[in-house]
Structure 1
Amino acid sequence: MAAGYRPVSATFTGVIAIDGPSGSGKSSVSRAVAQRLGLRYLDTGAMYRAVTLGAMLAGIDVEDQAAVEQYAHRMELFVPTDPQRQILVLEGRDITDEIRTPAVSLTVSAIATNLAVRRELITRQQQIVAAGRAIVLEGRDTTTVVAPDADVRILITADEDSRIARRTAELHAEVSSTTMAQTSSQISDRDRRDSTVASFQSAAEGVVTLDTSHLNLEQAIDAVLDIVRELP
């Protein structure tokens, strides 16, 4: 064990909010941190994807903001908080894998930029956080809107090339110039649209910035845990 090393307290019962753009690594890092600390975990982005998929399955035009708002209010969505068992259930249907399809990825910005839907989902997210103190939540707006009073607030970022490479590996069976170009276009378009309703490119006051461009997953996890260790 390295000199000066301090383990993270096993009794940590705070809120860790992690924000950042697509491909920054925030989801993988957040979930792993929750596992290491024995905390609950909330993927807020999955909730927007759930609304997207649900609206598509219901035949609702995702650009019809009023119709999507009504759907978001009435949908029955089970959101998991066990980092080791992330099974998302919509209207009794396991949609864990379906929300990660290219069709949903290409459409989700229409839902994420619907302000009425955002208000509904943020309310649900805050209720989940309030249901039990110890949690890691990640997604856009978590450090500034969903949990602005979190004990730890971190903006995870990375350079564009790193973000594109990571996202391509997540979305495609192979990483090639073609899939990289497709992913680059998707990331640019989503960031452009989402930035109209959420701030995730730069850290707000009191939010720690962590650049993971040159960090592998394990190093990024350790970096977040180091930030938690700095708590008084």
Structure 2
Amino acid sequence: METGELSEIPTPLVVAVDGPSGSGKSSVSRAVARDLGLAYLDTGAMYRAATWWCLDQGLPLTDTAAVADAVRALPLVMGVDPDDPTVVVGGTDVTAAIRETAISAAVSAVATNLDARAELGRLQRAAIKAEREPGGFSQGRGIVAEGRDITTVVAPDADVRVLLTASEEARLSRRALDVHGTADASAVEATRDQVLRRDADDSTVVQFHTAADGVVTIDSSHLGFDETVEAVLAVVSAATRA
């Protein structure tokens, strides 16, 4: 999409992107936010941050009530710059720590806790609302928010709603490359449980494999990164023109 076309997109603009693990939604959403001059919200990072917080507090994640209470008190600050999306909990920068294997293995326990999920959803809606209106650090231009239930639960009224998906083979290969730096057979196998189990667990509380009414599906199985970004930008352009 040409720069002139991007500048014609009206604001404030909210773009919601959902998808399974390895679909590319985080990297693609960051690029889309950067190209459109929007803020960027990684809601998956919020679940990871909540998991880090609970483990740091020594809470057993099986204690659903205690986890929900901890999430309600979560001292979370999300950086929404697509070039530097930071995550700070209680004054500690956990941007890197929440990507560690221990958090990846445990995060579903928080993501499937319905009370914790409701609280994080409230925080996500507040973050989206804050970027719709100028004031503070917000320019009121808008935001790209990505996760698993943004198009259906958190921001069903978003201006643009996209389900970004890909084949299981493509998703495992991408995640292996991201985590291990290679997509050979052993690396793919090493990420299989993490990717597929997380999707299976989260599928018990939210639907992110099939697009809801009004949500545009983009299958990136055979698209390169730049092509996928262009496909999302084309959806944004078409939706805003309409």
| Category of TM-score, reference length = shorter chain | over 0.9
Q: Secondary structure at the match of 2:5?
A: coil
Match of 1:168 among 176, 186, 190: 176
d(CA) in 2 for partners of 1:61, 1:186: 20
Q: Calculate the TM-score normalised by the size of structure 2.
A: 0.91
Gaps spanning 5+ residues in structure 1: where? none
Match of 1:183 among 167, 172, 191: 191
d(CA) in 1 for partners of 2:179, 2:110: 20
- The amino acid of 2:100's aligned partner reads T
Q: Which moved more, 1:165-174 or 1:124-133?
A: 165-174
d(CA) in 2 for partners of 1:82, 1:6: 22
Q: Deviations over 1:158-187 (max 9, x none)?
A: 000000011111222443322211211221
d(CA) in 2 for partners of 1:144, 1:25: 19
Mapping for residues 99-118 of structure 1, pairs under 5 Å: 99-118=98-117
Q: 1:38 to 1:6 in 2, by over 3 A?
A: closer
| Equivalent residue number for residue 196 of structure 1 | 204
Moved segments of 4+, more than 4 Å: none
Q: Calculate the TM-score normalised by the size of structure 1.
A: 0.95
d(CA) in 2 for partners of 1:80, 1:118: 20
Gaps spanning 5+ residues in structure 2: where? 133-141
Mapping for residues 216-231 of structure 1, pairs under 5 Å: 216-230=224-238, 231=240
Task: Indicate conservation of the 8 Å contact 2:80/2:86, yes or no.
Answer: no
Q: Deviations over 1:96-153 (max 9, x none)?
A: 0000011111111111000000000000000011112211000010000000000100
Q: How many residues align?
A: 230
Task: Indicate conservation of the 8 Å contact 1:143/1:154, yes or no.
Answer: yes
d(CA) in 1 for partners of 2:112, 2:186: 28
Q: Which moved more, 1:113-122 or 1:167-176?
A: 167-176
1:26 CA drift (Å): 0.5
Q: Deviations over 1:10-54 (max 9, x none)?
A: 553211000000000000000100000000110000000001111
| Equivalent residue number for residue 72 of structure 1 | 71
- The amino acid of 1:213's aligned partner reads S
Task: Indicate conservation of the 8 Å contact 2:48/2:107, yes or no.
Answer: yes
d(CA) in 1 for partners of 2:64, 2:177: 32
For the pair 1:137 / 2:145, whether they are aligned, the reply is: yes
Percent sequence identity over aligned pairs = 48
Q: Secondary structure at the match of 1:7?
A: helix
Q: Secondary structure at the match of 1:63?
A: coil
For the pair 1:213 / 2:211, whether they are aligned, the reply is: no
